[in-house]
Chains A and B, each alone.
Chain A
């Protein structure tokens, strides 16, 4: 089989057809996009998704509990608790789950990223790979790693605290996360707890700071927090104003999300 066919089959970065259909179905049922472009629709404010423009190649991400990759409710509960400790609600901005980081991750894990479609996964796996490369190496896909990691975290807290991670007090949750980060906590023998922590931290940050188009960073909260103006494409008016606070209002690839 040719390489290109292989790539197609692996669905690199593509949504599966089935998912697109369900998604569109859900949106049609929800209203506005069922309407033809020229039917005199009244608008106030920006439309809420990219699907409102039939010509847009972008598809909106469904918010709130419509899970395609993260299907286990208990896993989702654990992950929400983890994400909201990694990026909590505070004076600097909303929490990870408030801005859609779970929706973001679910969509990412559904596509090519979740399937590790870019990784070289051929064997043999050498025992000294990580030592030689000075970096954790994976053959498992991110989707598999989440499944295994969340189950291991669940088993861990059931044993140490007789409770789910999500039901522990925040200070104890932080203690466990810090233990994972520093490698002082082991989640079973097969799982690299430290690497799993890094995966979750990487993804929650991605969700918080990527364009809202991908389902996170709702209302561009992540960008407002640091002062990033988003998907602007021309700063010529500002190049001479070096060292000044510019107060630019951020813009996203999608009108509003």
Chain B
């Protein structure tokens, strides 16, 4: 890193060009700002990476994970408690980071959720309904988001319109409909495209849960159900249920991705926008006054260090890297897990997962027909949708079944316990159960704990010699209790579905590990809030410390809902962009009083 150049100054620089980065770039450049986006990975698009003739390839995309950034380039270290020495995550695990432009959004599954209104106000709601002792059990560190669901609704709506989300409303402007999710927050309008078809596993699940008095609905997903033109003028084609979806690209332009939904509007003939690929941002440069920043430093593909000056810096490099860049740049005070003081690295949370594997007899599930986000769910045991008065935890899980992933390599592991894993016994069992396997997956809420946090590892470095992020975390007692409760619900549902064999699982029953992929939803570390002593960014995702830094991604969630995060990431990105294009552009400075 000998050479050093400086690029011309721009209005805004976007660090990381996934969903969060591309949405912000699009909104800012539409407002006539001069924008540069910088991404660590190479250019990537349907052509030439995943056209129809290359996409249906389990080995390449799902087994070898060629669309992800390899741990070789970017990983983290972990430990469960403060007294342990953290160890590096050497192979793929819970962090499935984007390996090219588009980030993870190019290969995500597409479950396109809004969080439940409760998720934004867990602390206040818990105190109000169950008393202070439940909220402050000595371990949990609950705090509200500083905004309500209702305030975010317009941004959720715009995000869904951009992604073309297929779904069926359950709550239209406060009026419950009978066919969607009755527990969702009020929506201002229907989903942009109708819900997808109900496939075999969903059929069995819907019947059983309805008979049990529960409320099944089709998961809203960004696998669009019909030809669609989004508000940016981009066309999408109907999903063909090809099944090569989660971990893959989409050869049909049916799965919403930055590539499909945003790039065409942003990259075509737009003098306001420039993208720099294969360039890793290593630092945000603070101004002499310490109250703002002057730009970022990145290392280009020749190994040269380059300065990119800008008036506004948006960190959209995914939850983990957002936090690492703040720590590397000395923006805001690092969190201290012994005193609960400091904000960067605070309130890490994950996804508390339990569930049950199910096997049927003589059915034809046809698991190869499906889409990444397709499945049925009940929210009866999610959020605070059920009374927790006599329970010893808060939160819950969306209990879902999937119609996707008929992948022959991966599913060879999905055989009933006790089945031979090799030899003729294996072949007999797999010949039978490939068509007869299903899952109930409880995607549970995750509550932050005082001793769970992110900081820089003292020992391990990335290829540039910069410290890896270190994660110290274990499941909260609260979340373990929740996972057991929802696991038992899944067993009941599995029985009602008529499964001949049920094998329940609960990731929270053992200590947390990054090596076993319960989920890839890592959350927090630069959380939003109304109080600068407990949050890194305000409700517009603006840094309390440096007013021209916006930190956007799941890093901002103070706790995790019982849903996948990207709908909320998209909505928050649009909200932050709105604040920048509106008030901030007119009058740079703090948008909120701390």
Contacts and interface: CB of A to CB of B under 8 A. Distances in A.
Interface in B443-488: 459-461, 463-464
A207 B126 CA distance: 52
Interface string A210-251: 110110000000110111111111111011101111100000
B244 interface: yes
A120 B68 CA distance: 14
A92 interface: yes
Contact of A239 (B56, B197, B364): B197
Given A209-B408, A235-B368, A3 B280 contact: yes
A85 to B, nearest CB: 7
A167 interface: no
Contacts of B84: 128, 132
A144 to B, nearest CB: 15
Given A118-B72, A132-B80, A133-B513, A139 B90 contact: yes
Contact of B303 (A5, A132, A214): A5
Using C-beta atoms within 8 Å of the partner chain, give the interface range for chain B: 35 or more
Contact of B424 (A90, A181, A209): A90
B510 A134 contact: yes
A222 B434 CA distance: 12
A177 interface: yes
A128 B88 contact: no
A235 B513 contact: no
User: Which of B75, B278, B408 gathers the greatest number of chain A CB atoms within 10 Å?
Assistant: B408
Interface string B84-119: 111111111100000000000000000000000000
Contact of B422 (A86, A134, A213): A86
A228 B55 contact: no
Nearest to A82: B422
Given A87-B427, A117-B72, A233 B56 contact: yes
A120 B460 CA distance: 10
Contact of A119 (B72, B80, B430, B431): B72
Interface string B305-341: 0000000000000000000000000000000000000
Given A92-B424, A177-B422, A227 B78 contact: no
B429 to A, nearest CB: 10
A86 B240 CA distance: 36
Interface stretch (B59-67, B176-184, B267-275, B553-561): B59-67
Contact of B409 (A113, A117, A209): A209
Nearest to B55: A233
Contacts of B90: 119-121, 129, 137-139
A13 B66 contact: yes
Given A120-B72, A210-B63, 14 more contacts: A2-B302, A3-B73, A85-B423, A86-B422, A122-B460, A128-B85, A134-B511, A137-B91, A205-B409, A214-B59, A235-B241, A236-B241, A239-B369, A242-B198
Q: Which 9 A-B pairs have the closest CB atoms?
A: A118-B70, A2-B303, A226-B434, A231-B56, A133-B515, A210-B59, A209-B408, A234-B240, A92-B427
18 contacts: A2-B302, A90-B424, A93-B427, A118-B92, A119-B70, A120-B90, A120-B91, A121-B90, A128-B87, A132-B79, A134-B510, A135-B515, A206-B59, A209-B408, A227-B431, A233-B252, A242-B366, A244-B364
